[in-house]
Amino acid sequence: MIGILCAMREELEPILEEVEVKEVVEYGKNKFYLAKFDNKDLVLAYSKIGKVNSATTATIMIEKFKAKKILFSGVAGAIDEDLKIGDLIIATKTCQHDIDLTVFGYPYGYIPESEVYFECDKSLNSIAKSVAKKLNLKLKEGIIASGDQFIHSKEKKEWIKKTFNASAIEMEGGAVGCVCFTLNIPFFMLRAISDSAEEGAGIDFDEFLEESSKVSAKFLIEMLKEI
């Protein structure tokens, strides 16, 4: 069973259109779509935005629906200069930029007995890179930082870049990475850029959410054929 997770309806819908949905199970105030694609069993859902919602949904996919891998698809704000709207990025690792226990001498993003960074699965990342090569698509690899904030300020974005060496920003990857690390489940994070995470990002996000969601969904579907 492969878990396909998104945060928003707009991110999941273009994936659902490509798979054969067999059953819809309502659980935990959410809908889980049990589907087949290329003879593979999938469980798909969108969690709603944010770290708690995405961690809850990832946990349900793993514990209730027995997902053996989690693949995330969606949109992100760009941190690196070379990332433009519609560009694809996969995470090498994810982190949570809004964790601050620095008063106790810990680095930003660190919780005692946990980790700052959660590694993404190297073999899924290498499948993504070979799919990109085959399709002649640009695919960046880098750290993706998450927090329960929509970033729309150059100053905040620069702080996240400097503190976590992140290339892109969103609101779920660090949480899902933490769940998958805890439960020993391979985790893959794919995003297409929807905005610059600077002033005006909210307007770009609204304009490009659907288009960039489709870019990410289309790539994920191509990748699923190779898994």
Active site residues: 11, 195
Q: Which of residues 141-160 bind ligand ADE (CB under 6 A)?
A: 150-152
Residue 118 or 205 having the CB closest to ligand ADE: 205
Nearest to 93 by CA among 224, 189, 157: 189
Q: Could you say which of 71, 79, 85, 171 contacts ligand ADE (CB under 6 A)?
A: 171
Minimum Å distance from CB 140 to ligand ADE? 15
Residue nearest to ligand ADE (CB): 77
Residue 87 or 170 having the CB closest to ligand ADE: 170
Residue 35 or 157 having the CB closest to ligand ADE: 157
Distance between CA atoms of 114 and 180, rounded to whole angstroms? Answer: 13
Check residue 148 and report its DSSP letter: S
Angle at 42 between CA 37 and CA 45, to 5 degrees: 120
| Segment contacting ligand ADE by CB under 6 A, of 10-18, 19-27, 39-47, 191-199 | 191-199
Minimum Å distance from CB 105 to ligand ADE? 28
Task: Kindly state whether residue 195 participates in binding ligand ADE, applying the rule CB under 6 A.
Answer: yes
Contact 74, 86 (CB under 8 A): no
Beta-carbon contacts of 3 under 8 Å, excluding residues fewer than 6 positions away, are 42, 43, 44, 58, 61, 62, 65, 67, 69, 70, 71
Q: Could you say which of 99, 124, 185, 201 contacts ligand ADE (CB under 6 A)?
A: 201
Q: Which of residues 70-129 bind ligand ADE (CB under 6 A)?
A: 75-77
Residue 19 or 168 having the CB closest to ligand ADE: 168
Assigned token pair, 3: 């878990």
Nearest to 94 by CA among 114, 64, 68: 114
Per-residue exposure over 172-190, b if at least 16 CB sit within 10 Å of its own CB, e if not: bbbbbbbbbbeeebbbbbb
| Residues forming the site for ligand ADE (CB under 6 A) | 75-77, 150-152, 169-171, 194-195, 197, 201, 205
